[in-house]
Amino acid sequence: MYFLNTDEDTKKILQQYNHCRVKIYTFNQSRINKKSLLPVAKDVSYSGENTEAWYPPGHGDIYSSFYNFGLLDILIGEGKEYIFVSNIDNLGAMVDLYILNHLMNPSNGKHCEFVTEVTNKIRADVKSSTLTQYEGKMRLLEIAQVPKAHVDEFKSVSKFKIFNTNNLWISLAAVKSLQEQNAIYMEIIVNLKTLDGGLNVIQLETAVGAAIKSFENSLGINVPRRHFLPVKITSDLLLVIIFKKKIGKA
């Protein structure tokens, strides 16, 4: 999935790979004016650039997108049972055959519908989401959902020792069943932003991992740190290259 700000650039890059069969679907979601509670793109009181009215709505839309665009039925029709989902900037994400084997041949006989890879937290990861358990269900906890009074506690590397890498393994059959029942529940993450010109807006997002509580026998699997090598800026890419070279020599 790609969004307004990166859609055209992405299509230009992908033209270099016309020999590959890649299908791309785009969609937009509007910000909300904090004062009027109207979508900025529809609010006549706002005279800013239209492109500022749109933003990525988080990756929680993947379930409805797969279902509504027919991709879910296509993949199931091809005999596929699980999808592996990861952030595009995580160069460490990989298809771990040990995890796949566990999904296909569970030792306890209970097939897991949702797995999220977690890894040990260091101080650079204090704002990353973590897993909690509530009412017998695994849940994803994002820092944006934590009350200010408990943020320091959330950031503690001694209390919350692992964090979510957002490398996910998800049962396609389970997604289809839950979508048909409208039973995938994800908390709405409220991000307060300020546009150029000073307009305060409300940005609503959902996270793909937050759906973990909607699936049966969900679990988190602690994986090596090399599964999580995100690149946010150019210098991060250099660190990834150095890290991979060290791994290769080990």
Question: What's the pLDDT at 27?
Answer: 47
Pairing of strands 29-30, 114-120: unpaired
Beta 189-194 vs 82-85: how paired, if at all? Answer: unpaired
The token duo for 34 is 């904090």
pLDDT over threshold 90, residue 188: no
Give catalytic status of residue 232 as yes or no.
yes
Domain 56-187+206-249 has CATH 3.90.550.10: yes
- Return the bridge partners of 77, or none: none
List phi, psi (to 5°) of 154. Answer: -65, -35
Residue 23's pLDDT band, with cuts at 50, 70 and 90, is low
Residue 243 has pLDDT above 70, yes or no: no
Nearest alpha carbon to residue 26 among 69, 76, 87: 69
What are the domain boundaries of the chain?
A: 56-187+206-249
Q: pLDDT tens digits for 159-185?
A: 899 999 999 999 999 999 999 999 999
Q: One of 127, 232, 244, 249 is an active-site residue; which one? A: 232
pTM above 0.75, yes or no: yes
Average pLDDT, the chain: 82
Task: Please check whether residue 232 is in contact with residue 239, taking contact to mean a CB–CB distance below 8 angstroms.
Answer: no
